[in-house]
Structure 1
Amino acid sequence: MNDGSLLKKIFTIGNSSSLVVETFEKNWEFGWVEHIRLSDQPSYLFNSISQNEFFSLFVTDSDMASLSLIKSVIGRLKSTNGFEVIALAETPLTSEQLGILTEIDKNLVDSNVKVVCQDSLSSILECYAHLLCGFSYTCLDFNDIHEWLHAGTTFLSAAVNIDEAVKNELPYMLYLQLTELQAQYKKLELEVAAINVVFLGEYISQDLFSASLAMISGSFSRDLNLSVHSNIHDSHQNGKVGFRMFASLKKKTPLSFDHNAIPPFLLA
């Protein structure tokens, strides 16, 4: 268990990414998120002390000017531990743009620039904002969300809130949302690479939390990257319990078929 209260700073470069983060921050109600537009502060400096006090996301537009600026900023950091760099792009990048991303990657520790569209970025921002924000039944850290982010290429989210009086239905609501989410990504010809679930609202018992976790775990293979935590605040006890589910998706792995193999029904 932990009480969260860890600041997440989101640094942006470029108008498009700044607008997305600005809108997210305006609608975010749990605090511990700060947006800094580096386009307005190109000389922003970091020191080793302040970098240990928060997690950071760098979100940049993918035009050449923005990529060049983020490359300069990343190169000046004393440490890139606990940092992610995300490039916002709605169309395939050119060889020149990809070349700058490769240069940025060289300055990142055990990471690489993640290129996503705007819809995926919104899910990523919320997933990171919930991390170590309020009270959590489990202890997740930067590495857990890092693995979730880099497991897939497309990101979706789903949510449910129910009255606290019927909170025992929470595992069943999870099942319904998982079924709906699976239908969405199968339609996109994608498969799940990692799942992050955060519980919200009223406090729930350990038994109900365990039952909900069992429902999630039983819906996927044992080797799936699954992380579960909560973001609960005394000031947001509104008679509701719920969850937010974030799916990291990747292209389906083609099924291989050995034409020389004996069909399974002949082996029965």
Structure 2
Amino acid sequence: MRVQRLKLLSANIQAGSSTRRYSDYATRSWSHVLPAGNKLGMLDTIAKLAGRHDIVGLQEADPGSWRSGFTNQTHYLAERGGFDYWTHQPNRRMGQFASSANGLLSKFEPTSISDYPLPGRITGRGVLLARFGEGDEGLTIAVAHLSLGAQSRASQLSFIAELLADQPHVVLMGDFNCTIDRPEMATLFRQTRLQPPACMVHTFPSWKPQRAIDHILVSDKLACRDLQAFPAAFSDHLALSVDLEVPDGALRR
């Protein structure tokens, strides 16, 4: 089987806000709900990183609320990063001031897009699925942002496992809010072909990474290498990048 190489990126962009130390969560909390700060400048920096990749999964992208100056940040990054295809899944609204979404940027044309709300004690989480190609060589990319609570994460991972159970070529990436060795992750690896990564890359907090809670997981039929972390401007998470080999028939421009 002929293969094609592509570069993937997963990034929690914190809606273009800046967090450089723990105290900023309190002293700069206004930036998460107000249209202030250099958010477009932050997005331009993220777009440069994203543009070096073929497919990008975003978490905490504002879909166009007051805090982003009514800018759809996924669309903005698609235009600035040189992506012909983009989609998003608004899934959490914070009053009338802010909203949050999962997003997908791609230089290849997906054959289908779907999204699902995730179960949990508090609503507002989701998983976004993009399908590339057809048949046995098709590739599924899933982008998710999981809950902080272990019980909610367990139900969310069980739901995602059902969606991806029959997929031979699949990637699940996003902010999991937990490390790979947590008990709730076992369901995902048991019920799908997704595999634990060969190495752990710490992504949080971005200014002194100590926890590997952002992941790019691939199924056993896919080969990946060069897992690396990069700053996503001044988000509190580092972005994850990986090189992936996929069936040649899975992608089309």
More strand by share: 2
Q: TM-score, normalised by structure 1?
A: 0.29
More helix by share: 1
Q: TM-score, normalised by structure 2?
A: 0.31
